[in-house]
Structure 1
Amino acid sequence: MGHKRHFLQHAVTNNRTDPNSSFYPAIFFSVLSSNSNKPTLNPFVAPLGSSVVLPCYVDELLLMEGLEVEWRRTDSGTLVHLYQDGESRPESQQQDYHNRAYFFTDEIQHGNFSLRLDNLRAEDEGQYTCRVYSQQDSGSSRSISASVGEDVTLNCSVNSHITPEHIEEVSWKKTDEDENILVLLYQNNGTLSDSSDERYRDRVEFFTSEIFKGNFSLRLKRVRTDDKGVYMCQVFAGGLSANATVVLGQLGESTDK
């Protein structure tokens, strides 16, 4: 399957002559949620020269791996702002929006991709679209290599509004042809190390301080030749779920003397 897409469209029109406006001159914003069965408009007014927030939220558990968020002008296709590879990319935005368009970086992990546009200009009128691309349904996996005897990190991060207390379960399993081997389990706000298969016990751990940021990556210590294979991370939270697959292959010999 391809990338999963979500989008919200924002219609922005110039309203400099509206007698009901609290400000003059001003820009009139109306927000249309296009992923609703009955789209509703929520108009509000902001004065020229001020700031405005265009809302964009995703009510779904998303994998950080491969996550991309675009804000564009739908009338011209102009890139207003971009979030890619775990960070904002202001160098990619169109020149007119430099130092004027921002994400709320601390809120991205909660599924908030709203855009703040500063120093409003008359030419800002138009339509704006927020698109969120996620690879969670694409079936893609990430391959990594390691040397025997070293430690390696298997990545699994989610991006969502789900709070830590709503995390129901996170599991890492090695998916062999005939069986699923439980590598490590997180439940009830704690790591259940005793539930790990004996082949992995005392060799695997979560990055505990990162769990509350949605990072469920696994550290596999003292890699062995029989560790080679496919590993799946599954996250269940608030009735939603996401999964990531990591292939550990190309095991080389340790360079340690």
Structure 2
Amino acid sequence: MCYINLSVEPLLICPSGHIEVTSDDDVVLPCHLEPPVDASGEAVEWRHRNTTVLLYERGKYIDAEKKDRFKGRTSLFTERLTEGNLSLKLFSVPLRDNGQYQCFFRSKSQDKSCSVILTVDEPEVMGSDEPVTAEVGDDVILPCHVEPSANLMKLTVEWRCNNSMVHLYRSQKDVPEMQDERFRNRTFLFHEELVHGNVSLKLTNVTKEDAGNYSCYIPRLTSKVKRGNVTLNVVSPDQCTCPDPHKKKKHDESCHYWTLGLGLGLGLGLGLGLGIPLVVCIVRIFLLWNKYVRNRGFAEPGGENDNHLANVPNIPERE
């Protein structure tokens, strides 16, 4: 009888596809041992382009080897090292974090590594190419968002119109005292949507003076495109807007009455301009035509009116 001690070395596994993140967001770069092996007492290192991002040995972080630009921005899931989870968490990722990362696992018996590719997208502020139209007294939403979506809760958002401050969001709250007086208590951001990159502005009780070019500006956004533009057109409630099929029903009704009024006005103006004799002539022609139509109503198909009337017998008068 003999005994054989079989030792199976685990594999170090990283995802084959790219990990995508928007700049300034947090991201997790996955890496794990399969089958799971306790790595809490071993060495774990992450590198980016031959630069040490994180080094963990014998239960503690070794900051001396870490580059300054990664200090305070990296961590392991230390409570899960016993499960073989070596994943790296990166905080507030800038564009320069883009590229290939290597995960290293070192023990007395093995030295393994695998790679992860991180793609950092640059967000852009997007306004609206099409103008927004609203009626006087209505509420309107001026669209603006960041694409790809990013969490903007901690950033500053400025809405301006013709150099006037329409709305200011700073330090995770609105700053109404910085607004132009005519916009005070009339503007709102959708705070719950800021985490998704939506910075659209709601403007209530629209006036004619609100018409103009609006800009949505995020000064601290890590991007070359930090501003989006929206044009607001303001129309009167009685203004004809029926060519636009997306407007409310009352627009169609106002256009109907406007068109009817225009027709009556043109008719009246034409009659007065050509004179009363022409009007009288038109009335006489109408009466003659009406009489002709009524006479044809008594005619038999294919016959003449006189013959038909001649065949009608005389009805004696009653006493």
TM-score by length of 1: 0.44
Higher relative contact order by CA 8 Å / sep ≥ 6: 1 or 2? 1
Greater Rg by CA: 2
Query: Which structure shows the bigger proportion of residues in helix conformation?
Result: 2
Query: Which structure shows the bigger proportion of residues in strand conformation?
Result: 1
TM-score by length of 2: 0.36
